[in-house]
Amino acid sequence: MTSFRIRQAAELLGVSDDTVRRWADSGRLTTSLDSTNRRVVDGRALAGFAEELASQLPPPTRRTVAQSARNHFRGLVTRVVKDTVMAQVEIQAGPFRVVSLMSREAADDLGLEPGVLAVASVKSTNIVVEIPES
């Protein structure tokens, strides 16, 4: 199973290393020691925690004044639903939930399961860029 060091977990959650350590020390996030005696977080546990954090975010209090999203979303796989031909893969990339549909074969070849680190690359011929009212 995939595990992440404290610094990696902090980057994926969008918080500081110290915040992850405080969550671990308080029992909010479970850690263990790897073979080099460093604290690590199990990938599945981290994926569940990322979903929990995202669900607790309050709605934005400010409107966005300008934005153009990049086309790479690095995050944790939180859910994989497969049938005989297709797979639906959900990735929690910070506060963003990205859903991808792909062949089951591709999902199997990539070893996608909750807790795996993945990057969703988005390519589209139609990109919407918005500047909301100020």
Ordered per-residue pLDDT tens for the chain, 134 residues:
789 999 999 999 989 999 999 999 999 999 999 999 999 999 999 999 999 988 887 766 666 565 454 577 889 999 999 999 999 999 999 888 989 999 999 999 999 999 999 988 887 666 566 777 75
Distance (Å, rounded) from C-alpha 25 to C-alpha 18?
10
At 78-109, the pLDDT tens digits run 999 999 999 999 999 988 898 999 999 999 99
Residue 111, Cβ neighbours under 10 Å: how many?
10
Amino acid 110: pLDDT: 93
Enumerate the domain spans of the chain.
Answer: 3-55, 72-121
Residue 9, Cβ neighbours under 10 Å: how many?
28
Do the beta carbons of residue 14 and residue 95 sit within 8 Å?
yes
CATH label, 72-121, candidates 3.30.70.20, 3.30.420.130, 2.40.50.100, 1.10.1030.10: 2.40.50.100
**What are the C-alpha distances in Å from 68 to residues 35, 90, 99?**
42, 22, 19
Amino acid 85: pLDDT: 97
Q: Where are the beta strands (DSSP E) in 1-134?
A: 3-5, 32-33, 39-42, 72-82, 86-93, 96-103, 117-121
Distance (Å, rounded) from C-alpha 52 to C-alpha 46?
10
Domain 3-55 has CATH 1.10.1660.10: yes
Amino acid 128: pLDDT: 65
